[in-house]
Amino acid sequence: MSEHDLVSPSTYRGFVTVLSLLLAAWAFYDIVKWRRLKGQDRQDPLVQDKLRGYVLGLAMGCVTVLGVLRYNGVV
């Protein structure tokens, strides 16, 4: 750790990991909302828009988790 570092590299790595995983946890909320669309009319444009948004949220959550794993050298 040099004299100009505010925190150690391991502390920074831990902070970025925890923050990223907390933001990726939003994907679980998208799963719950996606399940609530089960009985609704899939032809309705509003339902289609919600479905696309939830799928996009899930994809972003998966990419975030993979990025954190790569950042920490797991994958």
pLDDT in tens, the chain (75 residues): 667 888 888 999 999 999 998 988 888 898 899 999 988 998 999 999 999 999 999 999 999 999 999 999 888
CB 27 within 8 A of CB 61: yes
pLDDT value for 50: 93
pTM here is 0.76
Count of domains observed in the chain: 1
Question: What whole-number distance in Å separates Cα of residue 71 and Cα of residue 75?
Answer: 8
**In a domain? residue 57:** yes
* Residue 49, pLDDT score: 95
CA–CA separation, 7 and 12 (whole Å): 6
- 4 domain residue, yes or no: no
Tokens of residue 13, six digits: 């790595």
Report the alpha-carbon distance of residue 6 to residue 38 in Å, rounded: 49
Which residue range is the domain that position 33 belongs to?
Answer: 9-71
